[in-house]
Amino acid sequence: MKSLGTAFAISILIAIAAVGVPLMAPEHNWELATVMSLILATVWTILLLVTLIRFKWRGLWLLVGAPLALYIPLLGVFFEACYRSHSCP
């Protein structure tokens, strides 16, 4: 990565894909959509770490994509915790 702008654009595209793939998946294939979202969130996290190492404090701009990139994986964690604790409404 030569510029922060390129890393930022890639970060936003990965974040949009991480939330868009599960939303476009058919209902009967939720597991595959969740796995794809987890993979994209992992790629986004690795990109964030590499950018932070390369650009230091300026790399924090990539956190703009965090809500999109981490929405479906965190939603899955919360639903799993709710299911296991039997406290779902």
Tokens encoding 88: 């779902």
**Number of domain units in the chain:** 1
Kindly indicate the confidence band of residue 78, based on its pLDDT and cuts at 50, 70 and 90. confident
DSSP3 helix / strand / coil % (the chain, rounded to 5): 90, 0, 10
pLDDT of 55 higher than 90: yes
Contact 48, 63 (CB under 8 A): yes
pLDDT of 87 higher than 80: no
Contact 69, 19 (CB under 8 A): yes
Among 49, 46, 61, 54, which Cα is nearest to 12's?
Answer: 61
